[in-house]
Structure 1
Amino acid sequence: MTRLIVAAGGGGDAVAAAMLDAAVYGGEGPAVILTYAWDRLLIDPVPGPRGPANFTGLRPLTRSVQAVPADARPVAPAGSTLPRLAAELPHTFALIDPHHGAEGITRQLEELIQHLEPESIDLLDVGGDILARGNEPTLRSPLADALTLAACCQVNAPVRLLVAGPGLDGELPADALRDRMGPLVLTFAADHVEAIGSVLEWHPSEATAMLAATARGVRGQCEVRDAGLPVPLTDEGPTVHEADLDDALNRNELARALLATETLDEAEQHSREICGYSEIDYERDKASWLGDQHERKLDPAAALRQLDQFEAEARNRGITHTTFRRITEVLGLNGRQRQDLRALLLSSRPEQYQAPLWRISS
């Protein structure tokens, strides 16, 4: 029997989907995870999500759906974490193609459901911004979630909407989500993280890193992203709640506007009108800015001095943890240097590694 999990926002949601599958169905065979190839600029220097044309070596599952196997490769200069996920995890990763709007994703879902005849279909979002109205000032990346929500509401099959780690994406606080979520489905524990432990050593997702850290018992205040947003790490962090799919659609103005979209450009325009921006526009602007910067060579001594200064300032802000993405950006380094920086920090100060986060020294 096959299970289908739709990773609402791609990236870290796909990793969390593997953890969910192990926690709920461990030992019953891996699921098919339908996900975007949208890794943001830290991994992929090209703004926006990737489609099938941006890969070589994809494997057809249905007429509209391609699987991303371990030997698939993104076409340069694009980048993607999906082939490595396929190499390290037993699941089948199928590619969401948003370039034909919500109608295209709906068609992909319908084909997969007919082909797989899954025993269950879960739509998983880490953090809970899929439950947004669409106009909240703290939202940063509503488009992917709104597209998958719009598509899942149009298929003729029961879809269970799940929110893992309420508030951990730093977009909607957990307090704002409580009356939008339903019953508790499960609470992740440390042993559930083992299924994705190796992935967390290199994958850049901050929300899923915090989800795993809270499952391992980490508590405190974590600073994330280039903006230095503080995210509380609480007992609510490792929880997974069910939410009503129709209520989510009725609340989410952007998702409703996307229902009949046939192109990604059309979806972006709705996002600009409803949310006041398109997250892909932000990526375009940031990519242009990053392209004008000269790559700095990693100087170990200078990096450790900068880290000391950052940690002193973070402590004054009440921060107890941070992510390697945050440290990389604070030090003015790029995504290609993130793993080198990580290796430097783990070799020089291993006592501060509270996997997969970095503990601010006291």
Structure 2
Amino acid sequence: MGRNTKNRPPRKRSPSKIAANQAARDAQLEKRQASKQYHLLSCFPGEFLRCKNNQAEVQTTIAANYNLARLRRVVLPKDDNTTFLVPVPPLTDKQKKLVGPAMMPRILLSRPGFTPQANAWVEEIGQVPFLLARFVDVLTAEEQSLLYEAYQEFLAANPSRPEDRGKNRSDTAAYHFCLWAHYKLAAFITRDSLQLKLKEPHRAQVLTLLDKFLSLVISLIVPRLSLLVNHYAPQHIAFMAPVYEKIEAQFAAEFLERPALKLGPLFFAVAVKHGSSQYIHLDGNDFQALWTFIVVISSKDGKWMGGDFFAPQLGGRIPVRGGQAIAAQTKILAHCGMEVHGEGRLVLTCFSHNAMVAKALFGPPKERRKAVVVG
């Protein structure tokens, strides 16, 4: 007669075994990126180096300069299991006049904190070497299921509806969690993260489920992306180090109360939605010199097609399957997600708000104060 194991508590693994398994998983992740395809551009796609956050202008410019119907049919990677890399081509002399070192937006050059020492610090770090990278096997099927189910549990708890910030990029709204700085000089915790419209005990239940989901983002996604970024774009980490230090100090009390809000050091916010953002746009609130990360998650029984990352300036689309991730300079590359057919697809866009990074590095705009050396 078999033993009844139904009510047996889960077996606890020792810290050493957990560490060994993680090390093996990291080694496997690096090995899976060994097959690479480089996509070389003849010139830098600089149409939007000085474009303000005007999505109508972006769509008009792209439509006038690119054959979108043809480019949507062009698949750039040779297969779905290859790391796909687009190196940054040299800027023209005219383009160099529009940006500072490491493609820093020119508007930052007039800030009090952008001293000669700060300029030298930025030049020493250098720019992120790839406009875009697609990484494969970032998450296993089991890990995707954990993330997907945790998010579904959060939705099932009936949280407040997300703020509709992206009508010019998608027909469906996304939740924005953790830290934001839009319309304010100081960073703050997003409304979606606080759920203040809900009454207790409902609010507490929703926040518990939200923090469960965000904790999985921290434990599963952040370490994998950190490993890849450290290898392919250590400049991103170097840029974010002083930013993370200041944000961590600013939100020390909030992070102590809710550790799940502490996403850093690669990014400080995550937007989550089903489907894709189907209208061509720029991520105007992201920091130009850094990567934004797009992680695709498939449910256990997910059956969907489409959702490719379409970037006309690169010459076509890049398929992104469940468990894969795109890292891209999305304030320079106009892009959209192609139509998704089926269900079970979740997209996480991980980024840092431009105002947060700029203020932490070079101080707030229009502030007359003694310059602070960065680095």
Q: Is TM-score (shorter-chain normalized) higher than 0.5?
A: no
* Bigger share in helix: 1
Higher relative contact order (CA 8 A, sep 6+): 2
Q: Which has the larger radius of gyration?
A: 2
